[in-house]
Chains A and B, each alone.
Chain A
């Protein structure tokens, strides 16, 4: 005899993206004997009513999660303005003095837009 079929219940984490170009997001977990079956279960179990453009299944045992203690390592001080634009806000006033505008996020990210202007 075999193991009673208990090993049939392998754990898989399911990820999916909503549409082409979108990042994948975690959905839920399911039980299946292998990744091929997990893949054909995934959409109908978790995304019956929403559009899906891609699905990933990952064996749970291949996911290295954090322990509760390790989650402590995710905390940090709120003193890192130098990493963000918040630390450089004074430039706005400076540039105004030279009759120029600050190159802020809104301005810079607009440069990638279409060139019609």
Chain B
């Protein structure tokens, strides 16, 4: 602890510099601690988007829950999608506590989502038309998510770091769940192999987009500098994308699958992957809820939320009927 003085007597600037000292020395910030408004807003934006993406991310996979092709797969994917909802729960609780001083609750988070003010990850706007997609989401989309989430395990904000610790522990199961589906398909019939190759071809661009643009000049917005400054994350978008390519390209190729980018190669000198840039204008378009499945998934979420409103009203402790 670097502070012994009464907090109330400190000026905003003194509080700010003490705050920066604390996070730079590796201290964790807790929900009720003083924090710069910029820090709070950055966290709210990051964590509410992360949380709601988990909730929306359950939807493309949800399609395959009742359809999974064996008892074991049905159980596995139920548990996996349940975890996504569970991760959403953890993250939204963290975001909700940050929003509380502003009088906001989960109700506002949901309404923000429905109005289109709260965005969710680009990958969850995409269709998942086959069982191959169910496998690919578990394998590569979760793989990408693991890379970004482990990058924030030491985040300066304690509640987020603790939620991520729980989440990452479960992601290990998700990674293996995805690999199990993919392995069965890869070692299966021609038709089964085609299911994964089609899914890779369909998802490749979305996977590259997952990490966001390399710099703000690409799309006009990027929070990466702020999040690095505040010790929320350590690596840049491009470093994360490179780490993903490092880990997963050899695995994809080892199964005899191909990546739909003829220009893709490893530059030994620069020690990085060179790849065809995805269409970043399309990325902006997708995250503004203009992706192929954006409307359907939002509709599904809105329908479910409104359809159950009577339950929440009925059990609201102060919800006396007038």
Contact = CB atoms under 8 A, between A and B. Distances in A.
Q: Do chains A and B touch in the complex (CB under 8 A)?
A: yes
Given A3-B316, A31-B93, A33-B312, 19 more contacts: A2-B319, A2-B321, A4-B107, A4-B309, A5-B312, A6-B107, A8-B312, A8-B316, A9-B312, A28-B162, A33-B316, A33-B317, A46-B166, A48-B86, A68-B33, A69-B6, A69-B7, A71-B1, A72-B3
B89 A2 contact: no
Given A45-B86, A68-B32, A3 B319 contact: yes
What range describes how many residues of A lie at the interface?
A: 20 to 34
A29 B311 CA distance: 21
Interface string A1-31: 1111111111000000000000000001111
A88 B253 CA distance: 66
A34 B1 CA distance: 37
B320 A2 contact: yes
A75 B315 contact: no
B4 interface: yes
B8 interface: yes
B123 to A, nearest CB: 25
B8 A5 contact: no
Nearest to A2: B319
A2 B32 contact: no
A116 to B, nearest CB: 41
Given A65-B32, A68-B32, A68-B34, A2 B313 contact: yes
A52 interface: no
Interface residues of B, number: 35
Contacts, number: 83
A7 B317 contact: yes
A67 interface: yes
Interface in A63-117: 65, 67-69, 71-72, 75
A8 B1 contact: no
A65 B30 CA distance: 11
Contacts of A29: 93, 97
Nearest to B310: A5
Interface in B146-172: 162-163, 166, 170
B231 interface: no
Nearest to B85: A45
A37 interface: yes
A2 B320 CA distance: 6
Contacts of A37: 315
B1 A45 contact: no
Contact of B316 (A7, A45, A46, A71): A7
B318 interface: yes
Contact of B317 (A10, A45, A67): A10
B224 interface: no
Contacts of B34: 68
Contact of A7 (B93, B166, B309, B318): B318
Contacts of A33: 312, 315-317
6 contacts: A8-B311, A9-B105, A34-B317, A37-B315, A69-B8, A72-B4
A4 B86 contact: no
Nearest to A5: B312
A108 B162 CA distance: 38
Nearest to A71: B1
Nearest to A49: B170
Which 3 A-B pairs have CB atoms at the shortest separation, nearest pair first?
A5-B312, A7-B316, A8-B312
A39 to B, nearest CB: 14
A11 B147 CA distance: 31
A61 B8 CA distance: 24
Give the interface centre of A7, A31, A34, A49 by most chain B CB atoms within 10 Å. Answer: A7
